[in-house]
Amino acid sequence: MNKIISLYKPLITLLLVVSGSLAFAQQPLKLEEAVLKGLENNFQIRISEQQYNMARLNNKQGAAGRWPSINIGVNSSNRYDNTPSFDTASMSYLRGDQYSNSLTPYVELRWLLFDGFSVTMNKQKLDLLEQYSSGYATIIVENTIQAIILGYYYALLEIERLKVLKEVKKLSGDRYRYEMMRKDIGTSVTFDVLQAKNSYYSDSTNYLLQKLNVKNAFLALNLLLGEPPSTKFMPTDSFQVDLQQYDLNDMMQKMLANNSNLKNQYINQEILKKDISLAKSNLWPSFSMRAGTDYKQGWYDWEKQQANTYLYDYYANFTLSFNLFNGGNSRRAIQSAKISEKIGNLEIMEIKLTLSNLLVTQYELYSIRKQLLDVADVNLESAMLNLEIATEKYRNGTINSFNFRDVQLIFLNASSKKLNAIYDLLDTQTELLRLTGGIVSEQ
């Protein structure tokens, strides 16, 4: 897995920068640094690393059955018998005690020499399983990078929302103090003061709740990075989007060639083909060898007459077996493996169609969201200008407090739409990168 991660470094095409920093943040953090930190510490990546290590450990010739097994051991036998024997002198049977002990050490080799090429098929399948595990690890890396990118920008989004609410709260506070001053000199009524006070405290409440949203966003980012909640980061990238021009046909070709889920499905299809070959290997005869040596040392005691004896031998036995009939199980296993292969082909077709539809959907969504960002830009510019004009008119008494509050809310809504439009566009960009296999690249 370390080899896999070393081959992949983030290809970050989304360049975003924060125009300020939080007072509680301590460690400056760029987007690329966040991705690299996540690749090193993220728990899902570390789990997939161990899964890959397990697949690599199992991909050995011995696991496929290539090599013989050698056993060494010792058998011990201890026996007491009380048996009758015929005595010719007395012409009767006499009973006597007999003790026997033996110790037999042995060494034995067992080797399956041929089993319908199943050993070769098993090793090839293990190779594919290791590739499949590597591909799955790559998918985890891609998903993690995407989650970190979006988590990083979501934290920036909440920071920008906090800035907007802070500005609105400041305007509400200025308005409240202005009304209090007017009340002191007798030019403002209690109703206007209460209305300004309610607006100020409402904006203060929203500001405090947004500070909590910011903290929660950073806690979620810390989890993705594998960092404890106590770690504080200071994002150094800005919350803006670098617009891209995409060609749908070109992206479609990249997706079919580079999408990690599709590539892993191709590997799985090869595994299913190996299962067919393994099932067919049961139709071949099996040829095995069993060889070894043992040594037996015995001790005997018959009515106080003791004797020792030993023997040893070597052997090499060969077995050739062929299954003539097993209820059709071998044929059914072959047909079942072929059906699984057909299912795999259908799944590949389904994945291709699903990915193609998703790519077209995201491509169209990206185009729409670019237009929405343009509209949000114009709308925010108008709202800001309207807020400046309304502030002057409010101080001049041209508009009342209700009209001024409406203008504030329009500005807040326009700012929120602009921030959401940027984040939505970034979300679509990262999804397009993931679909086309471009969220990570080999360097």
Strand partners, 94: 85
What local confidence, expressed as pLDDT, does residue 401 receive?
A: 78
d(CA 128, CA 119): 14
Confidence band (pLDDT; 50, 70, 90) for 335?
Answer: very high
What CATH code is assigned to 2-68+116-285+328-437?
Answer: 1.20.1600.10
> Which tens digits make up the pLDDT trace of 386-432?
999 988 888 888 888 788 888 989 999 999 999 999 999 999 999 99
| pLDDT(10) > 70 | no
Pairing of strands 69-87, 92-115: antiparallel
d(CA 283, CA 322): 8
Nearest-CA neighbor of 288 among 122, 111, 65, 118? 111
Top pLDDT among 2 and 315 is at 315
Share of the chain above pLDDT 70, in %: 88
Nearest-CA neighbor of 238 among 163, 167, 157, 145? 157
What local confidence, expressed as pLDDT, does residue 92 receive?
A: 67
Token reading at 110: 């067992």
At residue 76, φ and ψ (nearest 5 deg) are -120, 135
| pLDDT(142) > 90 | yes
Domain ranges of the chain: 2-68+116-285+328-437
What is the mean predicted confidence (pLDDT) over 249-258? Answer: 94
Token reading at 37: 């930190």
What local confidence, expressed as pLDDT, does residue 298 receive?
A: 80
d(CA 147, CA 38): 10
Is-above-0.85 flag for pTM?
no
Top pLDDT among 191 and 230 is at 230
What is the mean predicted confidence (pLDDT) over 94-101? Answer: 72
As a whole number, the mean pLDDT across the chain is 86
What local confidence, expressed as pLDDT, does residue 11 receive?
A: 33
Top pLDDT among 392 and 367 is at 367
What local confidence, expressed as pLDDT, does residue 441 receive?
A: 58
What is the mean predicted confidence (pLDDT) over 23-43? Answer: 83
Longest alpha-carbon distance in the chain: 148
What is the mean predicted confidence (pLDDT) over 207-217? Answer: 96
What is the mean predicted confidence (pLDDT) over 136-153? Answer: 94
What is the mean predicted confidence (pLDDT) over 69-89? Answer: 79
Number of Cβ within a 10 Å radius of residue 315: 10
* Residue 1 contacts residue 137 (beta carbons within 8 Å): yes
* Residue 281 contacts residue 118 (beta carbons within 8 Å): yes
